[in-house]
Every structure is written in C-alpha cells, then in structure tokens.
Structure 1
Amino acid sequence: MTGGADSPGYSSPTTIRRRSVAAVVVGLVGSVALVAVGSYWSAQATGRFLVGVGVMLAVEVLIVRRTIEVTHRRAGPQRLTLATVVTIHRGVVLAVLAGVLALENPTGTLVWAPGVLFALAASLDAVDGAVARATDAVTELGDRLDVELDALTVLAGATAAVVAGSAPIAFLAVGLARYCFVVGTWLRRRRGLPVAPLPPSQGRRLLGAAAMVAICLALLPVPGPRPSWYLTTAVMVPFLLNFGRDWLAVSRYPS
C-alpha cells in the first residue's frame, strides 16, 4: 500500500483508534438495548450479563488497538473503511454473546441466543469482505482485523460449546490453534529459525467454515448435546491435522 501520512482518505493511528472504539461503543449500546428490551432479568442476572459483555469488550479493544499499531508500522497509514467498521461490529456481537453465555440456565427464547448470536458474528465475516470488494476498499488494516476477529469468534464459540457439554474438551484446541500457531512462529523468529510463507489453501477455508457451522449447531438447543459432540469431534480431527500440516509448511519440514 502506498501513500503518505498526509494522503487523502488516510488517518493517523490515533484517529483510527478513536473512531474504532467509538464504533464499538455505539454498536454495543444498541446491541445491549436490543437484547435487554422485553427481558425481565433479576439484578444478579443483569450483572452477570454486563460482566460478560465488559470482559469481552475489553479484550476486543486491546486487539483493535494492537492491530492498528502493528498495521501502521508495517503498512503505513490506513483508511477506516465501511468494511472495517462492519468487522469491528462483529466484535460487538461477540461481546453480547459473552454476556448471554454468562447467564445461568437461560430460559425461553434466550436458549436460542448463543447459537443465533454466533451465527450472526460468523455471517458478518462474509459481509465485511463483500463490502470491501464492492466499495473497492480492501486495506491491510481490514484484512488483519478480519483475521483477529475470526480467531476470537472461533475461540469464544469453541469454549462455549465445551462448557455447554456439546463438544469434547479437546475441541478447545480448535479455538486455540491459531494462537498457538502465531506464538510458535514468533518463537521461531526469536530463535533465528526460518519461517516460510503460509501456502494458499482452499481446504483451510472450508475447514474453517465447517468449524463455524459445527460450533453454531453446538450452541443451539437442537440437534442436542450428543449429536453436537460427535459433529464437533468429526470436524476437530481434520481441522487440527490441517493446522499441523500448515505448521510443517512454515517450519520448512522436511528441510
């Protein structure tokens, strides 16, 4: 990407951070209002909901800030595009999901909320990409935030599925795989070892989509814990094998 700090359409990291946080806060207020309207929660339940939202939001703000700073250092000034705002609002949906998951034994229509919110967060992954292409506004910042929100979405969903008993505890490895991969490559660079570029793979995208579908079903009341347990296990095995293959590729094995 080219263009100096004063190029039209580009913003400083501070400006982007402020706008990004503002977008998250505005979207969060609206989302929390929609979830809370018509719900007759006790003060204790409301407190748990807000704690879950607050913890996830704090994590996301740190991710957004860090991603903006890293992108600015490596790729220069960036635009805050409509597609990037859509990506950020995926984090808003995840924050509301965290709040709902913090509730104990939700009843009524709320039992559908985790699966529906996860499906919405996962669906927005396709929306932000389509918006970026339609508006000719693909940026390095948008790409990096998209990857970070993808990883956080899978981690949150996998954790929720395991806690609900709809996935084996080993399924947590699906949510942690990307973070382990990043830490592993960072450690190799610190040790002066080679890290090869990750080769393109259509299978990687298909397995990611399969993991999203399996998690979504695991968070819904149907098909139920037992079928979901088998489904998440069936998806987990090829997903982790593919990550292992990717690790061998970037580690240049066999040498």
Structure 2
Amino acid sequence: MAGVRQRRSLRVGVGVGLPLVAAVALAALLFRLFPMDATGRWGLSPAVVAGGCWAGQLWYVGYRLDPERLAGGFWRRLFGLANAVTLARGALYAVVAGFAVVPPGTSLAWVPALCYGTGVALDNLDGTLARTVGRETDIGRRLDMAFDTFGFVAAPLVAVLWGLLPVWYLSISAARYVFRGAVWLRRVRGLPVGDLPDSDLGKYLAGVQMVFVTVALVPPVPTELVRTVAPVVLLPSLAVFTRDYLFVSGRLSNRR
C-alpha cells in the first residue's frame, strides 16, 4: 500500500503540482520583467499565456510517464543538471509563445529571437551533459522531445502572426503531428508500421529550421529576404517527413 500511495503522490506531483508551480513562477517572473506588455492582443496577458504553455508542456510529459518508473529518486533525476537545462529550454520556448498575443510593434520585439535562439543554442547541451556528467533518462528524453516539438510550433507561429513569415510556413509545425497521426491511423486499422530510415538528415534539417526561424525573428533582418528564403528552407524538411512516412508504410525500404 505504501508503494501505491507513493506512486500516486508522485503522479499527482508530476501531473498537477509541478505544472501549476511552474506556470505561476514563470508568469510572476514575466509580470515583473515586462510590465509594459502585461496586456496583449485579445485581452490576453503574455505572461499568463507563457505560464500556461509551460504548464501544458510539463503536464504532457508527466501524463505519459509510466507510474512504475516514477519511484526511486525521481525528483533528483528530474532536477539533475542535464534536465535543468532542458527545463530552461522549455521555459524559454514558453516565453516565445507568450508573444503570440503581443502586437509586433512592441518595444520587446527582440525577446522572441533571443529566447528561441538561446533555447536552440542549448539544444545539444542537455544531451551532452546527460552523457558526460550524468546519465540519459526516460524523463529527459520525453522533456527534450516535448520541448523541441513545442518550439517548432511557438516560434513559427509568432513569426507568422507578426508578418515575418508566410502562413504556409506553419506546415512545418503541423508536419510532425500529421506524421504521427498517420502512423497512429495505420496501427488502428491494423496495418503494418515499419522502422524509420537509418538517416540523420531529419535532425540536420531540423537544426537548419531552428536557426532560420531564429534569424527570421530578429527585428533588423529584412522581411522580404526571409520570405524569399523560406520555401528553400521549408521544402526539404517537408520532403523528409514524406520520405519517413513512405518508409514506415512499407512503400520504401532500407534495402539496397
């Protein structure tokens, strides 16, 4: 019974307590740092939006964790050095999302580029720390994947809402969800799902996307130049998602 209560307590702490505390802490910090933008478009506060987004990311990660794996030093592993860097990335991406309700003429227009660019710069640091001074964990991998995916939604969305990128660029934000939905549908229908191709091309192109979106958010960069380069950067990544689906659906294979 004690073990059951401990796992239940951890489940509540991870799924409810941690997201709420994180949301309140981030929103309170942003209210103090950026009081001039306390109210954004549609009557929404960017600080509240950012806090809610960070809470949503943490809830998503905690909700999908196996309760059997939560016991045994979970909090120590969660707040280890590598995961602390990953959590900081999630908070930075949440701040970027908060600017979706801020008009583009704000005096803080440099903040989304700074926050997203910093998160991108830290992207490989957490994994390196986990492999060198700590150890790779399931919670670390889930945090990394959740925050990467969220960053690919938040930053392009702000760029589109501010008129820096065309609306069709959001197809890169939807691509991962469309791919996962298509794979899920195959499993539901009882169709075979194969392995992904043995290639790191998708990772390299994701890095290119991150750098490009960061540059697009920098205020002095000419918008026309960004819009001209956008399709050149976007199309290869969409092609890789198409290739991956052709592999998992059996239409292509790794055989040579």
Question: Runs of 5+ in structure 1 lacking a partner?
Answer: 1-5
Contact map agreement 1:86 1:128 (CA 8 A) in 2: yes
Q: 1:42 to 1:217 in 2, by over 3 A?
A: closer
CA distance in 2, matches of 1:128, 1:142: 9
CA distance in 1, matches of 2:35, 2:122: 29
Q: 1:43 to 1:248 in 2, by over 3 A?
A: closer
- In structure 2, the residue matched to 1:57 is 54
SS at match of 2:36: coil
CA distance in 1, matches of 2:64, 2:121: 22
CA distance in 1, matches of 2:89, 2:112: 14
- The CA deviation at 1:19 is 5.8
CA distance in 1, matches of 2:97, 2:168: 21
- The CA deviation at 1:17 is 6.5
**26, 29, 37: which one pairs with 2:25?**
29
CA distance in 2, matches of 1:68, 1:157: 27
Contact map agreement 1:24 1:88 (CA 8 A) in 2: no
* Identical aligned residues as a percent: 31
CA distance in 2, matches of 1:169, 1:149: 22
**228, 231, 248: which one pairs with 2:229?**
231
Q: Does 1:163 align with 2:161?
A: yes
- Per-residue CA shift, 1:156-195, capped at 9, x if unaligned? 1121222222222221110111111111111111111111
Q: Does 1:175 align with 2:173?
A: yes
- Tell me the number of residue pairs that the alignment of Structure 1 and Structure 2 aligns: 242
Amino acid at match of 2:10: T
- Per-residue CA shift, 1:51-83, capped at 9, x if unaligned? 32233134213312223249959xx99643432
Alpha-carbon RMSD: 3.1
Query: Structure 2 length as normaliser, TM-score?
Result: 0.80
Question: Runs of 5+ in structure 2 lacking a partner?
Answer: none
**18, 23, 41: which one pairs with 2:13?**
18
- The CA deviation at 1:254 is 4.3
More off after superposition, 84-93 vs 116-125: 84-93
Q: Does 1:151 align with 2:149?
A: yes
CA distance in 2, matches of 1:136, 1:68: 20
SS at match of 1:153: helix
CA distance in 2, matches of 1:13, 1:166: 46
- In structure 2, the residue matched to 1:3 is none
CA distance in 2, matches of 1:71, 1:139: 14
Amino acid at match of 1:186: W
CA distance in 2, matches of 1:19, 1:210: 33
Contact map agreement 1:167 1:233 (CA 8 A) in 2: no
Q: 1:1-255 alignment to 2 at 5 Å? A: 12=7, 14-15=9-10, 18=13, 22=18, 25=21, 29=25, 33=29, 36-37=32-33, 39-41=34-36, 44-45=39-40, 48-69=45-66, 72=69, 79-80=77-78, 81-108=80-107, 110-254=108-252
SS at match of 1:119: helix
More off after superposition, 206-215 vs 89-98: 89-98
SS at match of 1:193: coil
CA distance in 2, matches of 1:116, 1:17: 34
CA distance in 1, matches of 2:55, 2:100: 16
Amino acid at match of 2:118: L
Query: Structure 1 length as normaliser, TM-score?
Result: 0.81
Amino acid at match of 1:29: A
- Per-residue CA shift, 1:111-152, capped at 9, x if unaligned? 111111111222222121111111241112211221121111
Contact map agreement 1:174 1:236 (CA 8 A) in 2: yes
CA distance in 2, matches of 1:230, 1:184: 31
